[in-house]
Chains A and B, each alone.
Chain A
Amino acid sequence: MSECPPKETLVANWAGELGDEAAAAVDEHVFGCDACTAETERLAGLVGALREKIPFVISHAHRDRLVAAGTRIHVTPVEPTPDRAAKKSARFTPDLDLLVFALRGDLANADRIDVEIASPTGTPRYLLEDVPFDRKAGEVLIACQRHFEGMFPAGDPVFSVHAVEAGERRAVGDYVVAHVWR
């Protein structure tokens, strides 16, 4: 490859969408090109930071990658919590890096899953659309990080899971976990 590839191709390469041969040609060109190296460095910094980001909802594959990389995770299975007084608790002990709540429900026919995370007072409230989920296991994984402490001062947030099935929106359940931060 003698000409600089368009930036769209560099992005596609970082997204892993080029075939092996095309990717190798781009890589080799970048090695010998100062301008493409500069552009690649900018992309690498951003993509590297994105890859290390742990979103509110993680996929099962992401959880497995974190475990393989040495992240210390405790998974708490959680069923819908209609009676808030009967909520499960999860303790963020010092030896843990991440708490994961496996919200369980019937997701067998879901085309898409949305999760709303809301304080008991309604604020703050986060709407997460089209989150990863495991249809077979019937689970949505919420990742709780230590620095989230204090994010919901009014009390433990409610995780409301909705499934979109054949265009219809269905409530799967509301889930609450008592967070014990130490």
Chain B
Amino acid sequence: MEAEHERRICQRYSNRIRCYGLRHLRDGVAAEDLVQQVLLVVLQALRDGRVRDVDNLDGYVFGTCRHTVMDMRRGDARQRRIADESAATALPEGYEPPWALADRARLDACLERLDARARAVVLATFVDERDADDIGRAVGVSPGNVRVIRYRALAALQLCMEGGHPA
């Protein structure tokens, strides 16, 4: 029963932690490490009765996630020690829900279907990490317009990637 409960916890939080890691650490491997480290810390805390408000586990996992990311950024010794100590604690079998990787070839095809300006805005934002002010100056539109173009372009890309209408 306990194993099943822990598996449900892992399945609820794995992808939430992964998304947080991808956004903050910008690296798929580091995000995967984050998933494992946070789950191990949370499960151990639950087993030891150290989670005060079990009904607010969302908050506890989120807090653990934030602190672990800060430690990972610092390459903190404490984080390595936790990882070492936690290595003895196995995560339950089948703990991870599926995580679909985007099809790169399809992404290229969908990007090609965007108009040139929308494609430039998307690539400048997420590949070159330029902000809306900078992109707006280069493309000749306001930062607000950059955000609108980017939002619409991402929606079109998602639809295209998921097999809906072409971008």
Residues of A participating in the B interface, judged by any CB pair closer than 8 Å: 7-8, 11-17, 24, 27-28, 30-32, 37, 40-55, 58-59, 61-62, 69, 112, 127, 129-130, 132
Contacts and interface: CB of A to CB of B under 8 A. Distances in A.
B20 interface: yes
A50 B122 contact: yes
Contacts of A37: 15-16, 19
B104 interface: yes
A8 B147 contact: yes
A174 B62 CA distance: 53
Main secondary structure of the interface of A (DSSP, over half): helix
24 contacts: A8-B147, A11-B154, A17-B132, A24-B66, A27-B23, A28-B59, A31-B62, A31-B65, A37-B19, A41-B19, A42-B158, A44-B18, A44-B19, A44-B22, A45-B99, A46-B154, A49-B102, A50-B126, A51-B127, A53-B127, A58-B127, A69-B27, A129-B116, A132-B128
Nearest to A131: B120
A48 B22 contact: yes
Most central of A49, A58, A69, A132 by chain B CB within 10 Å: A49
A24 to B, nearest CB: 8
A107 B2 CA distance: 65
A155 to B, nearest CB: 23
For the complex of A and B, 3 pairs with smallest distance between CB atoms: A49-B102, A32-B58, A50-B126
